[in-house]
A = this chain, B = another copy of it.
Amino acid sequence: MLKLYDCETAPSPRRTRMLLAEKGIEHENIQIDLRSGEQMSEAFRKVNPRCTVPALETDDGVLTENAEIAAYLEALYPETPMLGTTALERAQIAKWNWRCEMEGLMSIAHALRNSTPAMKDRALPGPRNIAQIPALAERGLQQIAWFFEDLNEQLKENEYVAGASYSVADITATVVVDFARWVKVFPKESQTALLEWHERMKARPNYSA
């Protein structure tokens, strides 16, 4: 059975949990306590030397990036496609998932990791320490606000983030909106398409996976 090294409160492994839930894939769940630094322990380094979660143990080895995990699960569990079926769907999902990662998750991570006192010298995940850059935290806040504008525009024309079907891009975007609260950024009241989409996402069973 698949074994997911997870942290219930963290945004990256939540993407994997939501994907596993949507595809209905059973797995064993092991919690890694990021607050106490368990990801840096010798024991966890043996699972994932990159010291990050998610880490998904499979028959083909341990998978550590969400892009990797999504490609793997889509190939082995093609029912409930989450990366699209037609060429255009695949393209739009890849595009919006990428934008949600780069302009959404990365911006929030920049804002959080470069400002939180508890993350001093932990401005990037992984085994190597790196100093915070306060100006990058500010830039992150600006970028996430811009991304919410663009996402709201996209959702005016589309029921889901990448078009007419629920996809991995909706999972990533859901995590973006919820993770943004950590840095006190919320969709504006005027961004009604984004807010209404988020309510639809909250109603789905995999929201609380």
* Given known contacts A128-B146, A133-B135, A136-B136, A90 and B65 CB-to-CB distance under 8 angstroms: no
- Which among B64, B69, B91, B143 is the interface contact of A72 at CB below 8 angstroms? B91
- Which among B65, B75, B133 is the interface contact of A87 at CB below 8 angstroms? B75
- Which among B72, B91, B93 is the interface contact of A60 at CB below 8 angstroms? B91
* Residue in B closest to A73 when the chains form the complex, CB atoms: B87
Cα separation A99 to B139 with both chains bound (whole Å): 22
> In the complex the two chains form, is A68's CB within 8 Å of B94's CB?
yes
Q: Does A112 reach chain B (CB closer than 8 Å)?
A: no
Looking at chain A's contact residues, the main secondary structure is helix
Residues of B within 8 A of A130 (CB): 139, 142
Residues of B within 8 A of A95 (CB): 63-65, 67-68
Cα separation A86 to B75 with both chains bound (whole Å): 7
Most chain B CB within 10 A, of A68, A99, A135, is at A68
- Which among B65, B88, B97 is the interface contact of A67 at CB below 8 angstroms? B97
Q: Does A92 reach chain B (CB closer than 8 Å)?
A: yes
Q: Does A70 reach chain B (CB closer than 8 Å)?
A: yes
* Given known contacts A75-B90, A87-B76, A88-B72, A65 and B133 CB-to-CB distance under 8 angstroms: no
* Given known contacts A60-B87, A139-B130, A142-B130, A94 and B76 CB-to-CB distance under 8 angstroms: no
User: A residues 76-96 with Cβ under 8 Å of B?
Assistant: 76, 83-84, 86-88, 90-95
Q: Does A209 reach chain B (CB closer than 8 Å)?
A: no
Q: Does A10 reach chain B (CB closer than 8 Å)?
A: no
Rounded to whole Å, the gap between the CB of A139 and the closest CB of chain B is: 6
Q: Does A98 reach chain B (CB closer than 8 Å)?
A: yes
- Which among B71, B83, B97, B143 is the interface contact of A91 at CB below 8 angstroms? B71
* Residue in B closest to A99 when the chains form the complex, CB atoms: B65
* Residue in B closest to A142 when the chains form the complex, CB atoms: B130
* Given known contacts A93-B71, A94-B65, A139 and B128 CB-to-CB distance under 8 angstroms: no
Q: List 6 interface pairs A-B (beta carbons < 8 Å), by A numbering.
A: A61-B88, A64-B95, A71-B87, A74-B90, A75-B86, A135-B136
